[in-house]
Amino acid sequence: MAKSPSKPITEHLAYLLAQANREINRQLDARFRKEGVPVEQWRILKVLSDGKGHSMGELAEAVLLNHPTLTKMVDRMVSDALVYRVQDADDRRKVLMFSSDRGKALTQRLNSLALSQEAFIAENYGNKATADLKRLLESLIEKAN
């Protein structure tokens, strides 16, 4: 009996997700390059763009970063005057994050870069395929939790 060949790595869902994620993220990063902002900061700014004040825990969850990483990234963003911290009066363990005016202006520029990427993908990849893919991903994420 020959050695079992075992499924090639390119057929594993985990690998396909990693590859697709890497590629799409690279393209988005390239668009953000001229603003000098990593994708994670866009996510943070976007979540904060409702003006409401989000705790670090909420943020970490929403932007797919763990706490210490987020803390340090926020430190940098505070240095750049994009966001600021306010201690939560109701629960003084918490810190509420807000976007500054400068942060809001940047958010709009980044949003438009991101939307243009989405449009580009939809165009090259097809509207239906894009919609189907999104739906399947949402459903996978929901099941996986």
Partner DNA sequence: CGGGAATCGTTGAATATTCAATATTTTCCA
Partner DNA sequence: TGGAAAATATTGAATATTCAACGATTCCCG
Residues that bind DNA (CB under 7 A): 40, 55-58, 60, 65-76, 85, 90-95
**How crowded is residue 94: how many other Cβ atoms within 10 Å of its Cβ?**
17
| 55, 94 Cβ separation under 8 angstroms | yes
Q: For the CA atoms of the chain, what is the radius of gyration?
A: 19
Handedness of CA 75, 77, 80, 86 (dihedral sign): negative
Query: Cα(124)–Cα(118) distance, rounded to whole angstroms?
Result: 10
Question: In this chain, which of 1, 13, 90, 93 binds its own copies, going by CB under 8 A?
Answer: 13
CA atoms of 14 and 10, how far apart (whole Å)? 9
Q: Where are the beta strands (DSSP E) in the chain?
A: 54-55, 83-87, 95-99
- Residue 78 sits in the site that holds its own copies (CB under 8 A): no
Residue 36 binding: pick among its own copies, DNA, none (C-beta 5-8 Å cut-off by kind): none
Nearer to its own copies, 87 or 116 (CB): 116
- String of contacts with its own copies for each residue 79-108, x by CB under 8 A: ------------------------------
Single residue of 115, 116, 119, 127 touching its own copies by CB under 8 A: 115
| 19: β partners | none
Residue 136 contacts its own copies per CB under 8 A: yes
Q: Which does 2 bind (CB under 5 to 8 A by kind): its own copies, DNA, none?
A: none
| CA separation for the pair 46, 63 (Å, rounded) | 9
User: Would you tell me which residues interact with its own copies (CB under 8 A)?
Assistant: 6-9, 11-25, 27-28, 39, 43, 46-47, 49, 62, 64, 111, 114-115, 117-118, 121, 124-125, 129-130, 132-134, 136-141, 143-145
